[in-house]
């Protein structure tokens, strides 16, 4: 990770004991790192950055260093071990997977705090130079899946034959299908395949039956159908850089990009959200549940680092404060959809008590 510092010599052995993977909080002044290290989701990145900047100005500690690695990449770094050479916090635009929790446990990261920070929408964005196109999740599935049901209605798959949106639905424009989106390591990609591709695929009765089947092979087939994105140029992986997607949409107004609502909100002068099933992605539509393609956002804390890295408890308190994530908090101004009051109170309590996450709950 950028900015990483390495121990110089054995004199700091009292600060950290790597064999036992334990910290000596009394030796904090000798710690090799005196700032909070955060990695993970590109969607949560702007929210974490705002909190970090506010914290750095007011709390008397160094401003935390936030790195956008993607949710999957962040989890790998976070779960790689305990010690100042490993991140303290991982941002995530989906919930931690059980396999990731088990990887953490295997590498000595035994105690983890899970904090939901609010909600976000998955947006199919387009240049403001283009005309808005209302689309359904079924049409998005047919546009982006590697293999799709035969047009004849037969319960079998064929390699995706659709080249233009009009090929899928005569009411749509005859523009070439071109969607720029995140890579497989992205939480936004995970959320997109779950909230859009799975729901769109399930519009076909026989595919939905696979999902509802008690047989593991059927469920695996359902996921294979819905999660496998075509690789013939219709879907273009644009990395974790949402700004690059905006530039490409501006250069090609007929293309679309997949990103979180918060990024759309911050770039409303250049891009617009595409209505999904008749609902435009807006703050209000996501907050009241009318916009169907929405997801929760999280961060995960390495509890072994809380009493060792300077400012950890104070940073958590800032993030979980009403002035930050409340209905009128500064994060809502950046596009975060606040949780309902009862959820915010629940997660505030979890932060205060450092409630432990169990892999069995995932």
Q: Where are the domains of the chain?
A: 16-119+297-361, 121-294
Distance in angstroms (rounded) separating the CA atoms of residues 134 and 326: 32
Domain 16-119+297-361 falls under CATH 3.30.70.520: no
359 SS3 class: helix
| CA distances, 287 to each of 17, 51, 134 (Å) | 46, 21, 20
The domains spanning 16-119+297-361 and 121-294 adopt the same CATH topology: yes
Which CATH number is 121-294 given? 3.40.190.10
Report residue 87 as tokens. Answer: 């991140």
Phi-psi region of 39 (alpha: psi -120 to 50; beta: other; left: phi over 0): beta
Q: Are 5 and 33 in contact (CB under 8 A)?
A: yes
Task: Find, among 119, 155, 179, the residue nearest to 325 by Cα.
Answer: 119
Q: Are 286 and 337 in contact (CB under 8 A)?
A: yes
* Residue owning tokens 């008590």: 353
> How are beta strands 179-181 and 235-237 bridged, if at all?
parallel
Report residue 84 as tokens. Answer: 């100042």
pLDDT of residue 32: 73
Residue 223 parent element (H or E) = helix 216-227
Report residue 153 as tokens. Answer: 């209605």
Helix axes 341-353, 312-319, angle to 10 degrees: 170
Distance in angstroms (rounded) separating the CA atoms of residues 49 and 335: 13
Q: What are phi and psi of 90, to 5 degrees?
A: -120, 120
Q: What are phi and psi of 266, to 5 degrees?
A: -80, -15
**What pTM did the predictor assign?**
0.75
90 SS3 class: strand
The CA R_g of the chain, rounded to the nearest whole Å, is 22
Report residue 170 as tokens. Answer: 């005569």
Number of Cβ atoms within 10 Å of the Cβ of 9: 6
| CA distances, 210 to each of 145, 193, 221, 223 (Å) | 16, 16, 7, 9
| CA distances, 8 to each of 21, 30, 73, 191, 231 (Å) | 18, 11, 27, 42, 47
- pLDDT tens for the chain, residues 1 to 362: 434 333 333 333 334 333 333 444 443 334 578 999 999 998 899 999 999 999 999 999 999 999 999 899 999 999 999 999 999 999 999 999 999 999 999 999 999 999 999 998 999 999 998 888 999 999 999 999 999 999 888 899 999 999 999 999 999 999 999 999 988 888 888 889 999 999 999 999 999 999 999 999 999 999 999 999 999 999 998 866 677 888 888 889 999 999 888 888 888 888 999 999 999 999 889 888 899 899 899 999 999 999 999 999 999 999 999 999 999 999 988 889 999 999 999 999 999 999 999 999 88
């Amino acid at each position: 990770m950028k900015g990483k510092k390495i121990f110089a010599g054995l004199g700091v052995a009292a600060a950290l004991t790597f064999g036992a993977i334990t910290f000596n909080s009394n030796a904090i002044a000798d710690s090799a790192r005196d700032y909070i290290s955060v990695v993970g989701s590109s969607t949560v990145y702007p929210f974490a950055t705002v909190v970090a900047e506010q914290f750095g100005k007011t709390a008397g500690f160094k401003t935390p260093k936030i790195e956008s690695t993607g949710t999957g990449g962040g989890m790998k770094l976070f779960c790689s071990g305990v010690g100042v050479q490993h991140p303290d916090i991982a941002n995530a635009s989906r919930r931690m997977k059980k396999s990731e929790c088990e990887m953490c446990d295997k590498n000595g990261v035994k105690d983890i705090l899970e904090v939901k920070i609010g909600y976000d929408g998955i947006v199919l964005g387009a240049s403001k130079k283009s005309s808005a196109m209302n689309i359904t999740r079924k049409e998005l599935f047919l546009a982006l899946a590697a293999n799709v049901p035969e047009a004849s209605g037969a319960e079998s798959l064929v390699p995706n034959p659709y080249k233009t949106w009009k090929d899928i639905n005569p009411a749509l424009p005859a523009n070439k299908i071109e969607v720029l989106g995140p890579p497989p390591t992205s939480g936004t990609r995970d959320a997109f395949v779950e909230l859009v591709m799975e729901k769109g695929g399930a519009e076909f009765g026989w595919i939905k039956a696979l999902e509802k089947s008690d047989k593991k092979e059927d469920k695996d087939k359902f996921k294979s159908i819905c999660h496998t994105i075509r690789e013939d140029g219709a879907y273009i992986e644009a990395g974790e850089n949402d700004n690059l997607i905006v530039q490409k949409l501006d250069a090609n107004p007929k293309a679309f990009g997949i990103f979180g609502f918060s990024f759309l909100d911050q770039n409303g002068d250049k891009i617009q959200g595409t209505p999904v099933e008749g609902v435009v992605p807006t703050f209000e539509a996501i907050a009241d549940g009318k916009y169907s393609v929405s997801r929760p956002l999280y961060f995960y804390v390495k509890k072994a680092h809380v009493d060792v890295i300077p400012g950890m408890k104070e940073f958590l308190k800032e993030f979980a404060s009403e002035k930050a994530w409340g209905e009128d908090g500064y994060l809502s101004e950046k596009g975060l959809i606040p949780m309902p009051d009862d959820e915010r109170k629940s997660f505030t309590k979890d932060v205060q008590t450092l409630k432990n996450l169990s892999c069995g709950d995932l």
